[in-house]
Chain A
Amino acid sequence: MRARPNVDVVLVDAGGSNLGSVRCALRRLGVEAEVSADAGRIRAATHVILPGVGAAAPGMARLRESGLDRLIPTLTQPVLGVCLGMQLLFEASEEGDTACLGVIPARVRRFDGAAPRVPQMGWNRLRIERDDPLLAELAQPAYAYFVHSYAAPVGPWTLASADYGGAFSAMVRRRNFVGMQFHPERSAAPGARLLANFLREPAAVRAGATGT
């Protein structure tokens, strides 16, 4: 599975400890990604990935320090948020009562008492909610590796959901912004397929994109 060779991928350095793993996963797809926190460099990329492991408040603080909290929502190329990176695309997170990037109009909440244990840690099945190029050629059933204590609700932005004491958003899209709550870099073949699909997203905003 090779991605397009002519992509210029930048990984936003927001202090996430999975930066290295995501970079390795891209390398397995034949793509060398650059790590940067520089606004000009990020703006010039064809594809931007916001990884992130950890808590919402320090994650947002890191972005604010370098002014990236204002830059990211204005980007027009494909942007992928992974795990915490996906949660930061939302309006706010209950975790530390944190205002986030506001790309998707909903609030991330802690798993409630219906979840068997918190954090959710392990492989869960993706349930496709909506057709999207990001899901092309994803073999079913597809399982992905999740590690998280907070989750985004299902809404018009949801491409795929998963069930953990109730449905939550596993994959989201709004315009050029997509998010994966699981770790595609640690989700075997399905993860590699989804990352490759992201890299196939056209560098400019898709005309007539089905974003909400």
Chain B
Amino acid sequence: MLTRRIIPCLDVADGKVVKGVRFRDHAVVGDIVELAARYRDAGADELVFYDIAASPQGRRVERAWVERVARVLDIPFCVAGGIRSVEDAREVLHAGADKVSVNSPALERPGLIEELAGAFGAQCVVIGIDSLRDADGVWRVRQYAGDPARTRALPRRTLDWVDEAQRRGAGEIVLNCMGSDGTRDGYDLAQLRAVRARCRVPLVASGGAGAPAHFLAAFREADVDAALAAGVFHGGAIAIAELKAYLRGQGIEVRP
């Protein structure tokens, strides 16, 4: 039986893992390869590297660090940020990444999803969606959400975009629920459930993880395939091995 995945997300700038408020005051947390190896050994099922510098500066992800990571990692990893074309994706995939994740560029030009799926297969193409519930109660997507100064609310409804992304060839969807992101109060189960009902490809929950029970709820109540988190792992609040032991004890299938 397919197990549920636990995915730490690491922010990368100029080849280093950083933390802090996005796009301001990057504190270097450590060497990207060292941290990747640490999460590999801790039992992470997959890693996401989010190049927070490439995206807003209109730069391409640097191939060098992707290659360094690919050499040491024996678990899959995905690169997000700064991928706007088939050529950008090819660089990253040929450097050794297993998947690329595309967010705002796909909103600018939805045809990019088809191009990527056609060139590399849907299994390489992850669509990241930043979503927030508006005052009228409807979830809508946000563009450039990585940068608070540039974030734009779009008229596009999240559920419509989930449908369209799949139709165009998305192989996986990461739903970042901005209302819960950073709160550590738990994933946005209502929104995840609504997206799950529309999503035939694997769905990854993102935004709000603060305790092991939040992961359990996302798997059990929203039936997501994977749960992504950053702060709780980096800060040491949750150890992956203990999280997995807890989930197993609750009847969720996870990789030992």
Closest-CB distance, B1 to chain A (whole angstroms): 6
CB distance from A178 to the nearest CB of B (A): 20
Question: Which chain A positions have C-beta within 8 A of B67?
Answer: 20
Interface membership of chain A positions 95-125, coded 1 if the CB is closer than 8 angstroms to chain B and 0 otherwise: 0000000000000000000001111111111
Q: Which residues of A contact B96 (CB under 8 A)?
A: 20-21, 24
B25 at the A interface (CB under 8 A):
no
B217 within 8 A of A: no
B: interface residue count bin: 20 to 34
Q: Is A186 an interface residue (CB 8 A)?
A: yes
Q: Mark B198-216, 1 if CB is under 8 A from A, else 0.
A: 0111100000000000000
- For the complex, is A27 an interface residue (Cβ under 8 Å from B)? yes
Contact with A along B33-52 (1 / 0, CB 8 A): 00000001000010000000
Q: Check A121/B202 contact, CB under 8 A, given A53-B120, A53-B124, A141-B256.
A: yes
Closest to B5 in A: A122
B10 at the interface (CB under 8 A from A): no
Please tell me if A143 contacts chain B, counting CB pairs below 8 Å: yes
Judging by beta carbons under 8 Å apart, are B121 and A122 in contact? no
Most central of B71, B122, B123 by chain A CB within 10 Å: B123
CB distance from A159 to the nearest CB of B (A): 19
**Is B74 in contact with chain A by the CB < 8 A criterion?**
yes
- B44: min CB distance to chain A, Å: 10
CB contact between B201 and one of A27, A53, A119, A143 (< 8 Å): that residue: A119
SS of A interface (majority): mixed
- Chain A residue with the shortest CB-CB distance to B199: A117
CA distance A121 to B172 in the complex (A): 9
Report chain A residues within 8 Å CB of B181. Answer: none
| B228 at interface, CB cutoff 8 A | no
Other-chain residue from A20, A53, A120, A124 in contact with B121 (beta carbon distance below 8 A): A53
Cβ of A25 under 8 Å from chain B? yes
Bound together, the chains give a CA A146 to CA B75 distance in angstroms of 11
Looking at the complex, which one of A20, A116, A149 makes contact with B95 (CB distance below 8 Å)? Answer: A20
CB–CB A186/B123 < 8 A? no
Q: In the docked arrangement, what's the CA distance between A124 and B5, Å?
A: 11
Interface with B: A86-94, A130-138, A187-195, A196-204, which one?
A187-195
Taking A119-B123, A124-B2, A141-B256 as contacts, is the C-beta distance between A24 and B71 under 8 angstroms? yes
A116 and B2 contacting across the interface, CB-CB below 8 Å = yes
Instruction: State which of A116, A145, A164 has its C-beta within 8 Å of the C-beta of B76.
Output: A145
A-B pair number, CB within 8 angstroms: 96
* Cβ-based interface call for B151 (8 A): no
Interface size class of A (residues with CB under 8 A): 35 or more
Q: Does B255 contact A (CB under 8 A)?
A: yes
**In the complex, are the beta carbons of B74 and A192 less than 8 A apart?**
yes
With CB as the reference atom, state the residue of chain B lying closest to A145: B76
Most chain-A CB neighbours within 10 Å: which of B5, B172, B200, B255?
B255
Residues of A within 8 A of B3 (CB): 122-125, 143
* A29, chain B: closest CB distance, angstroms: 11
Shortest Cβ gap from B227 to chain A (Å): 12
Query: For chain B residues 57-71, which have a beta carbon within 8 Å of chain A?
Result: 67, 70-71
A38 at the interface (CB under 8 A from B): no
Known: A28-B71, A116-B2, A121-B172. 11 other contacts (CB 8 A): A17-B93, A17-B120, A21-B98, A119-B123, A122-B3, A122-B4, A122-B5, A123-B255, A125-B1, A164-B1, A186-B76
In the assembled complex, 25 residue pairs joining A and B whose CB atoms fall closer than 8 Å, in A order, are: A18-B98, A20-B67, A20-B95, A21-B98, A24-B70, A24-B71, A117-B200, A117-B201, A117-B202, A119-B171, A120-B2, A121-B202, A122-B202, A122-B225, A123-B2, A123-B255, A141-B256, A143-B256, A146-B2, A147-B98, A149-B122, A186-B73, A186-B74, A186-B76, A189-B74
Residues of A whose CB lies within 8 Å of any CB of B are 17-18, 20-21, 24-25, 27-28, 53-55, 116-125, 141, 143, 145-149, 163-164, 183, 185-189, 191-192
Counting from the closest, the 5 A-B pairs by CB-CB distance are: A123-B255, A17-B93, A147-B123, A186-B76, A143-B255
